[in-house]
């Protein structure tokens, strides 16, 4: 896979997917998402082909703004914003999906490791963060990457052509369905 080599700064690759700037990603998201709407609730309602699975309390989707190519999200619904009010059964169901997502990524994309993170925040200055509980499952391809280099938008996020998105979605969907 070509995108695992080289640095992760935002220059176009000889072969895509490519990196777009944080500003471009935020602008694109703003075009699509109503300003006041919760990001996670909004993502959950999307009917684009980035959804891998949707069940009563969880949805597994490809991130529209992947920190690394293949970045999956496990959305929890309805709108819970803290662990105190979240029923243990829903947490467990979501955690199982997060593990399955990591297994799928390990198989399909062969990262050096997978980050599984539940890191919502109510800080409104962090535009890509949401207090609504969810998991990020991020395949990491570089040995020396660390949370501070992966969990940031400052170096931009990945984007790709329709065809590449669809190829990624299909390979992940296929592996997901086989487990
Ligand atoms: Zn929400």
**Main-chain phi, psi angles of 64, to 5 degrees:** -70, -20
What pLDDT, on the 0 to 100 scale, is given for residue 122? 52
Q: State the virtual CA torsion across 25, 60, 103, 1 in degrees, nearest 10.
A: -30
Distance, CA 135 to ligand 1 centroid (Å)?
A: 13
Of 2-16, 85-99, 146-160, give the range with the top mean pLDDT.
85-99
Distance, CA 4 to ligand 1 centroid (Å)?
A: 33
Distance, CA 167 to ligand 1 centroid (Å)?
A: 29
CB neighbours of residue 177 within 10 Å: 10
Distance, CA 133 to ligand 1 centroid (Å)?
A: 8
> Measured between alpha carbons, how far is residue 161 from residues 20, 31, 42, 158, 165 in Å?
12, 19, 23, 11, 6
Structure tokens belonging to residue 73: 């999200």
Predicted confidence (pLDDT) per residue in 89-145, tens digit = 999 999 999 999 999 999 999 999 999 998 765 555 445 678 899 999 999 999 998
Predicted confidence (pLDDT) per residue in 18-44, tens digit = 888 888 888 888 888 888 889 999 999
- Give percent above pLDDT 90 in the chain: 52
Separation CA 126–CA 46 (nearest Å): 22
What pLDDT, on the 0 to 100 scale, is given for residue 128? 62
Separation CA 152–CA 14 (nearest Å): 24
pLDDT band at 156 (very low <50, low <70, confident <90, very high): confident
Q: What is the mean pLDDT of residues 39-65?
A: 92
Distance, CA 11 to ligand 1 centroid (Å)?
A: 33
Separation CA 103–CA 109 (nearest Å): 10
Distance, CA 48 to ligand 1 centroid (Å)?
A: 18
pLDDT band at 14 (very low <50, low <70, confident <90, very high): very low
pLDDT at 3 over 60: no
Identify which of 77, 36, 30 has the alpha carbon closest to the alpha carbon of residue 53.
Answer: 77
Predicted confidence (pLDDT) per residue in 62-86, tens digit = 998 898 999 999 999 999 999 999 9
Dmax over CA atoms of the chain, in Å, equals 47
In eight-state DSSP terms, residue 3 is G
Q: Which runs of E-coded beta strand occur in the chain?
A: 18-20, 51-54, 58-62, 72-76, 113-117, 134-140, 157-159
Q: For residue 72, list its beta bridge partners.
A: 62, 137
In eight-state DSSP terms, residue 128 is T
What pLDDT, on the 0 to 100 scale, is given for residue 2? 41
């Amino acid at each position: 896979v070509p995108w695992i080599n080289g640095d992760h700064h935002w220059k176009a690759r000889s072969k895509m997917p490519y990196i777009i700037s944080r500003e471009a990603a935020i602008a694109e998201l703003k075009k699509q998402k109503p300003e006041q709407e919760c990001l996670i609730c909004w993502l959950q309602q999307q009917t684009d082909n980035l959804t891998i699975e949707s069940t009563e309390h969880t949805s597994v989707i490809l991130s529209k703004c992947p920190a690394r190519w293949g970045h999956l999200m496990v959305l929890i619904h309805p709108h819970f914003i803290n662990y105190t009010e979240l029923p243990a059964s829903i947490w467990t169901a979501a955690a199982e999906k997060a593990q399955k997502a990591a297994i799928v990524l390990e198989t399909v994309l062969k990262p050096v490791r997978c980050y599984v993170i539940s890191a919502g925040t109510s800080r409104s200055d962090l535009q890509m963060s949401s207090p609504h509980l969810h998991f990020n499952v991020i395949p990491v391809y570089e040995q020396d990457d660390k949370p501070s280099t992966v969990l940031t938008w400052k170096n931009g996020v990945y984007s790709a052509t329709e065809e590449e998105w669809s190829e990624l979605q299909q390979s992940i969907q296929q592996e997901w369905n086989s487990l």
